[in-house]
Amino acid sequence: MMQENSGHPVNPAQAAACCRPIDRLLCPELFRAIGDPTRASLLACLAKCGRPCTVTEIAACCSVDLSVVSRHLALMERGGLLASSKQGRTVSYAVRYVELAGLLRALADELEQCCERTPGSADCASDGCAPGCA
Amino acid sequence: MMQENSGHPVNPAQAAACCRPIDRLLCPELFRAIGDPTRASLLACLAKCGRPCTVTEIAACCSVDLSVVSRHLALMERGGLLASSKQGRTVSYAVRYVELAGLLRALADELEQCCERTPGSADCASDGCAPGCA
DNA sequence: TGTATACTTGCACAATGATGCAAGAGAACA
DNA sequence: TGTTCTCTTGCATCATTGTGCAAGTATACA
């Protein structure tokens, strides 16, 4: 109503009421799941391994207690970084490579669109989302 | 020495000693800076605005105290998400669109490389980084 | 059926973090 | 020079989080 969809809200207050894909992509729970040194190293470890690994295996690669690793892995699964599968008494975790890479690229695309959009002409309602949804 | 560079460490313990670009890309400080609901909304707000905004402007778009916003913005700058510039008594923060998008894409690429690499044949030393550097 | 293995959960504790209020620092302006 | 504006910093407080130990649960196996 105020601006075109191709542009920007004129100020942050208007931007806050303006719902765009970036709001969904900037999911705090997901990024928080990476934002701890122990978890980041577990994730890197698991990614580099390239296959599902058991909790015991993963715990062998860092100095913290197995129970701590178990909790970190569960948290990363809740955050959407990992997928788990249980076979007998062993639980394996694997990186959700495809989903994660897709989300990161989508976020990168959105950021660049924000950057390139013409200033001062954003229609907050035309993204299929009512104002104030953020 | 043990495997080819194109492959994977055979287990997480070996993977931990194996230094790859993903170790650098999974920077906990950066992701932690997004991993809080208030900060994520501030970042989205700033991104959607598409231009540098002052602390007062940004504070107007959320319900927390201005001092809290100031601290969150400083934290996000330290994490590499934002860049600040001071003009007179006003401080403006802007999203580091290019750097951020680049990092996210690089991480996405690395994740997919991890996923595609042939299992069981990773040379941990050939990435220009001594074992145990992780 | 008992025992070993693999993992999760309860509990306690120390550390960190998010928040608001109030005061301080620095710059513009009358 | 005093006042206003913009932002940062100190302090207190409450909540959350990361951690280890110990106990519990669930599965496999002898």
Strands in A90-95's sheet, in edge-to-edge order, are: A53-54, A90-95, A82-87
Q: Does residue A82 contact residue A39 with C-beta atoms inside 8 Å?
A: no
CA dihedral B95, A96, B15, A67 (to 10 degrees): 100
Strand B82-87 and strand A82-87: the pairing is unpaired
Q: Could you tell me if residue B3 is inside a domain?
A: no
- Residues paired with A92 in a beta bridge: A54, A85
Question: Over the range B60-90, which residues count as b (16 or more CB within 10 Å of their CB) and which as e?
Answer: bbbeeeeeebbebbebbbebebbeeeeeeee
Structure tokens that stand for A107 in this block: 């976020």
Contacts of B105 in chain A (CB under 8 A): 104-105, 108
Q: What is the pLDDT of residue B3?
A: 43
Give dist(CA A110, CA A125) in Å, integer: 17
Residue A124 lies in a domain: no
- The whole-number pLDDT of residue B28 equals 98
Quick one: pLDDT at residue A4? Answer: 43
Give the C-alpha separation, B108 to A121, whole Å.
Answer: 32
Q: Quick check: A6 pLDDT over 70? A: no
Q: Residue A89: which nucleotide is closest by CA–C1'?
A: D27
Give me the pLDDT at residue B15, please: 84
Q: What is the pLDDT of residue B7?
A: 74
User: Can you give the pLDDT at residue A11?
Assistant: 84
In 3D space, the residue among A3, A1, A2 whose CA is nearest the CA of residue A117 turns out to be A3
Report the pLDDT value the prediction gives residue B108, as an integer from 0 to 100: 98
Range of the domain at B74: 28-114
Amino acid of residue A125: A
Mean pLDDT for A69-97 is 98
pLDDT at residue A70, rounded to an integer: 98
- Taking the CA of residue A130 and the C1' sugar atom of nucleotide D23, their distance in angstroms comes to 51
Contact, A92 vs A84, CB < 8 A? yes
Report if residue B5 sits inside a domain.
no
Instruction: Record the tokens describing residue A60, joined without a space.
Output: 């062998």
From the CB of residue A85, how many other CB atoms can be counted at a distance below 10 Å? Answer: 10
B73 close contact with A: CB closer than 8 A: no
Inter-chain touch A47–B114, beta carbons under 8 Å: yes
Q: With CB atoms and an 8 Å threshold, state whether B61 touches A16.
A: yes
In angstroms, the Cα distances linking A27 to A39, A79, A107 are 17, 9, 10
In chain A, residues 71 through 100 whose Cβ sits under 7 angstroms from any atom of nucleic acid strand C: 71, 73-74, 84, 89-92
Query: Please, which pLDDT band fits residue A17 given cuts at 50, 70 and 90?
Result: confident
When divided into structural domains, chain B yields a total of 1
A2 pLDDT more than 50: no
- Average pLDDT score, chain B: 86
Check whether residue B94 has its CB closer than 7 Å to nucleic acid strand D: no
Q: Using the structure, give the distance in angstroms from the CA atom of A100 to the C1' atom of C3, rounded to a whole number.
A: 42
B63-92: pLDDT as tens digits: 999 999 999 999 999 999 999 999 999 999
**Separation between Cα atoms, residue B45 and residue B17, nearest integer Å:** 40
pLDDT digits (tens, 9 = 90+) for B23-79: 999 999 999 999 999 999 999 999 999 999 999 999 999 999 999 999 999 999 999
Name the average pLDDT for chain A: 86
Residue B106: CATH number of its domain: 1.10.10.10
Say if B66 falls within a structural domain.
yes
Q: Is the pLDDT of residue A130 over 50?
A: no
Query: Are A52 and A85 contacting, i.e. CB atoms less than 8 angstroms apart?
Result: yes
Q: What is the pLDDT of residue A118?
A: 64
Percentage with pLDDT > 90 across chain B: 69
Q: For the segment A110-126, what is each residue's pLDDT rounded down to a tens digit?
A: 999 988 776 655 555 44
SS3 A84: strand
For residue B121, being part of any structural domain is answered with no
**Mean pLDDT to the nearest integer, A79-100:** 97
Dihedral sign of CA atoms B29, B35, B37, B42 in order: positive
What pLDDT is stored for residue A45 in this prediction? 96
- Is the pLDDT at B115 greater than 50? The verdict is yes
Is A29 part of a structural domain of the chain? yes
Does B11 reside within a domain?
Answer: no
Does residue A94 form part of some domain? yes
Exposure string of A105-130, with b = 16+ CB inside 10 Å and e = fewer, is bbbbbbbbbbbebeeeebebeeeebe
Nearest to B62 among A16, A28, A122 (CB): A16
